[in-house]
Structure 1
Amino acid sequence: MTRPVLLALCLATAPLATTAGAQTRHNTNAPIDFAADTIELQDRANRAVLLGNVSVRQAEMSLSAARMTVNYTGQIVDGNPQVSRLDASGGVVVRRPDQTARSQFAVYDLNRRVITMIGGVSLTQGANTVNGGRLTINLDTGRAVMDGSSVRGGGSGSGNVTTAPSGRVTGTFSVPKRN
């Protein structure tokens, strides 16, 4: 991707990123509450697999999906395993105050405090909507960056996944009524 295109993409998402930055910083140290139809604990692999109507909540943010793998470090602090990463797939929805993002897949890296969403991504804030192939949300700064890159090749034998066929970010920004 050339620099002018990257700059244009950053400018295109600036209204969403600026407004998101006005939100309070997400508390990544808050406990993570979850619910699912089924949970499979894989202690030797330091992970848990949540299946069916998965719902996760941390502070004011929620994440829902059909399936989620919770990876933890193996360290226990105050009787709790230390979660390091959440991998979600199938109708992923991330909600924060005044923002909703949807995609096919998402990774929440708790150590970096970053959520990366790929596959038909849509970010909505009020009447503003941005669509693309990949969205990265920095939970420390509230900055959201969308790009239109296509993703090819999925893991676990899922075949090819192609998103954002135009390779561009599209969207709609609302305009305030003027006299």
Structure 2
Amino acid sequence: MQAALFPALALTLCLIGAAPLSAQVMGFGGGGADTDAPVELSADNLTVNRSSGEAEFSGNVIIGQGEMRLSADQVLVRYAEGDTSRIDSLQAIGNVTLVNGEDAAEANEAVYEVEAGNITLTGEVLLTQGENIMSGDSIVVNLSDGTAQASGRVRTVLQPGRD
């Protein structure tokens, strides 16, 4: 399914009703995120394993990149092979919350592939944009173009525009 603007999705769903779909696309974060910005991490605890190129942050983990914020109970950071100064991916586990602009998502787990600019949220995923809500088993957020694609028993609640 081609990436679509949120208003087009809203209009389509209003016309056909908010029935569950197998896959659905909506905007996230009001456009692209700055995936070239530095990634900042903070947590109560940190364990580093140089031989595996991994670091584990636990307890009140907060990750920021540009205007995007991700929080979780635990985050496993995998560094690029041969370059521990460059993050390859982040795996967030437990009470995951992602905020980008006025949009927010909650899930049990998230995997952020830094170079690709994709975040895959799984497990009781809930995405909110103002009063509009989307839930599903899995939502993939593309930070480069600001789209999100949901799959697995998707449910959407769209509020009509207010004057």
Asked if the contact 2:127–2:135 (Cα under 8 Å) also holds between the matched residues in 1, the reply is: yes
The residue number in structure 2 matching 1:155 is none
The residue number in structure 2 matching 1:51 is 58
Q: How does 1:32-51 map to 2 (within 5 A)?
A: 32-51=39-58
- Aligned-pair distance for 1:27? 1.2
Compute the TM-score of the two structures, normalised by the length of structure 1. Answer: 0.75
Q: 2:148 & 2:161 partners in 1: Cα distance?
A: 22
The residue number in structure 2 matching 1:129 is 133
Asked if the contact 2:95–2:108 (Cα under 8 Å) also holds between the matched residues in 1, the reply is: yes
Structure 1 or 2: more helix by fraction: 1
Q: 1:176 & 1:35 partners in 2: Cα distance?
A: 39
Q: CA RMSD in A?
A: 1.7
Q: What are the ranges of 5 or more consecutive residues in structure 2 without an aligned counterpart?
A: 1-20
Distance 1:75 1:27, change over 3 A: farther
Aligned match for 1:31, one of 35, 38, 46: 38
Q: How does 1:59-138 map to 2 (within 5 A)?
A: 59-76=66-83, 81-138=85-142
- Aligned-pair distance for 1:103? 0.3
The question of 1:140 aligning with 2:144 is answered yes
Q: 1:64 & 1:126 partners in 2: Cα distance?
A: 20
Identity of aligned residues (%): 30
Q: What are the ranges of 5 or more consecutive residues in structure 1 without an aligned counterpart?
A: 1-7, 149-167
Q: 1:35 & 1:133 partners in 2: Cα distance?
A: 28
- Aligned-pair distance for 1:42? 0.5
- Aligned-pair distance for 1:9? 4.6
Asked if the contact 1:114–1:137 (Cα under 8 Å) also holds between the matched residues in 2, the reply is: yes
The residue number in structure 1 matching 2:17 is none
Q: Which runs of 4+ in 1 moved over 6 A?
A: none
Q: Secondary structure at the match of 1:69?
A: strand
Q: Secondary structure at the match of 1:45?
A: coil
Asked if the contact 1:146–1:169 (Cα under 8 Å) also holds between the matched residues in 2, the reply is: yes
